């Protein structure tokens, strides 16, 4: 009842919905960078969305199933194969004992992160009520680190080993029609939508203009903690010391040098740099799929619109979960 890691990939870590409630202790939230793809993979594998998935970045791992299992893939196209035959993403799929699931490099313009869910979830030990990996702190996930060659990852649930039963199940799952509402997929956007940050009014008019009219490049000095942006320097009208405040995913902070940083999933628990803006929640999955060298542009939106879009996305996920009831029934049979 396990997976064996034959090749680890570039950065493959287990992530769930995040380690909430511990920032006051200095513990980062972590969790999946692209929360939409994470949730989709889980639902398509017959899970609740709070199970951990394997988040793979740019170059994926090669894994061998040691027991039959149902799995699903969502996110960027890392060109997955089973026993060298291409397999589909966004579908529940069956692996038999000995099957080798391999991922390659991210196909151009599809993103940089892919998520692998297995039915029943991975057998991981929670740390502070979460199985998300925090690599800098060396805890969570599997041994507090990215996958390494030779790792064995336990599975909570495996399927019956009878060949004819697995064939029938695979065919039954393939017949299930999967319709993904547009609200649950990280669609490409020309601009990331922003809300003014708490210190917006303290930045110069030129900085407002530059933020909303310029293209910014994601620096190579970017990671799951934060995306450094290369572009026009942003500045406050009157620079001042600011008390540290809780840090949020998508907050755009501006250090004294003027180089903006977007805080990401592994962000620090507090930050004292001025906050010029906040990327709205529904655009964070698309941002998470951008990698170093990609360019991003910004535009302002209204709070009411941001809340409406977030509500529509949550309603779409509930709709999808209801629509996949037959999938869960088939896997429990």
Q: What is the pTM of this model?
A: 0.96
Q: Are strands 192-196 and 298-300 parallel, antiparallel or unpaired?
A: parallel
Closest CA to 218 of 276, 260, 248: 260
* Residue ranges covered by each domain of the chain: 2-184+322-332, 192-301
Q: Which residue, chain included where needed, has tokens 């799951």?
A: 224
Q: How many CB atoms lie within 10 A of CB 261?
A: 21
Q: How many CB atoms lie within 10 A of CB 263?
A: 22
Structure tokens at 110: 């599809």
Burial of 61 (0-12, 13-18, 19+ CB in 10 A): buried
Q: What is the pLDDT of residue 177?
A: 87
Burial of 129 (0-12, 13-18, 19+ CB in 10 A): exposed
One digit per residue, the tens of pLDDT, for the chain of length 333 reads: 799 999 999 999 999 999 999 998 999 999 999 999 999 999 999 999 999 999 999 999 999 999 999 999 999 999 999 999 999 999 999 999 999 999 999 998 899 999 999 999 999 999 999 999 999 999 999 999 999 999 999 999 888 777 788 888 999 998 888 889 888 987 788 899 999 999 999 999 999 999 999 999 999 999 999 999 999 999 999 988 888 888 899 999 999 999 999 999 999 999 889 999 999 999 999 999 999 999 999 999 999 999 999 999 999 999 999 999 999 998 986
Query: Under a CB-based contact definition with an 8 Å cutoff, are residues 122 and 85 in contact?
Result: no
Q: Which residue, chain included where needed, has tokens 């299930």?
A: 176
Pick one of 3.30.420.40, 2.60.120.620, 2.40.100.10, 2.40.50.140 as the CATH number of 192-301.
2.40.100.10
SS (H, E, C) the chain: CEEEEEECCCCEEEECCCCCCCHHHCCCCCCCCCHHHHHHHHHHCCCCCCCCEEEEECECCEEEECCCEEEEEEECCCCCEECCEECCCCCCEEECCCCEEECCECCCCCCCEEEEEECCCECCCCECCECCCECCCCECCECCECCCCCCEEEECCCCCCCHHHHHHHHHHHHHCCCCCCHHHCCCCCCCEEEEECCCHHHECHHHHHHHHHCCEEECCCCCCCEEEEECCCCCECCCCCCCCEECCCCEEECCCCCCCEEECCCCCCEECCCEEEEECHHHHHHHHCCCCCCEECEEECCHHHHHHHHHHHHHHHHHHHHHCHHHHHHHHC
Q: Which residue, chain included where needed, has tokens 């008019």?
A: 205
Q: Are strands 226-230 and 216-218 parallel, antiparallel or unpaired?
A: antiparallel
Q: What is the pLDDT of residue 160?
A: 78
Closest CA to 56 of 2, 7, 103, 90: 103
Query: Under a CB-based contact definition with an 8 Å cutoff, are residues 19 and 29 in contact?
Result: yes
Straight-line distance from the first to the last Cα atom of the chain, in angstroms, rounded to the nearest whole number: 19
């Amino acid at each position: 009842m396990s997976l064996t890691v034959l090749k680890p990939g570039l950065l493959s870590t287990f992530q769930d919905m995040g380690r909430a409630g511990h920032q006051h202790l200095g513990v980062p939230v972590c969790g999946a960078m692209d929360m939409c793809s994470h949730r989709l993979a889980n639902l398509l594998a017959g899970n609740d969305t709070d199970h951990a998935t394997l988040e793979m970045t740019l170059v994926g791992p090669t894994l061998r199933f040691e027991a039959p299992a149902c799995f699903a893939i969502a996110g960027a196209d890392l060109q997955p194969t089973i026993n060298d035959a291409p397999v589909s993403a966004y579908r529940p799929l069956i692996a038999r004992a000995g099957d080798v699931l391999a991922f390659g490099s991210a196909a151009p313009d599809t993103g940089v992160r892919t998520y692998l869910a297995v039915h029943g979830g991975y057998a991981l030990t929670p740390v502070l009520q979460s199985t998300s990996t925090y690599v800098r702190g060396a805890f969570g996930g599997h041994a507090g680190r990215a996958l390494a060659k030779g790792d064995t990852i336990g599975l909570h649930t495996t399927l019956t080993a009878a060949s004819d039963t697995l064939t029938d199940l695979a065919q039954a799952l393939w017949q299930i029609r999967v319709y993904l509402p547009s609200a649950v997929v990280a669609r490409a956007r020309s601009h990331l939508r922003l809300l003014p940050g708490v210190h917006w009014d303290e930045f110069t008019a030129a900085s407002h203009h530059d933020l909303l009219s310029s293209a910014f490049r994601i620096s190579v000095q970017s990671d799951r903690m934060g995306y450094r942006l290369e572009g026009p320097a942003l500045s406050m009208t009157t620079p001042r010391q600011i008390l540290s405040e809780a840090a949020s995913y998508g907050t755009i902070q501006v250090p004294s040098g003027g180089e903006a940083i977007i805080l990401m999933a592994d962000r620090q628990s507090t930050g004292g740099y001025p906050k010029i803006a906040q990327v709205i929640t529904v655009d964070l999955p698309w941002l998470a799929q951008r990698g170093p060298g990609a360019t991003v542009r910004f535009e302002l939106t209204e709070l009411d619109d941001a809340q409406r879009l977030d509500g529509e996305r949550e309603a779409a996920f509930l709709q999808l979960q209801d629509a996949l009831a037959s999938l869960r029934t088939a896997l429990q049979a």
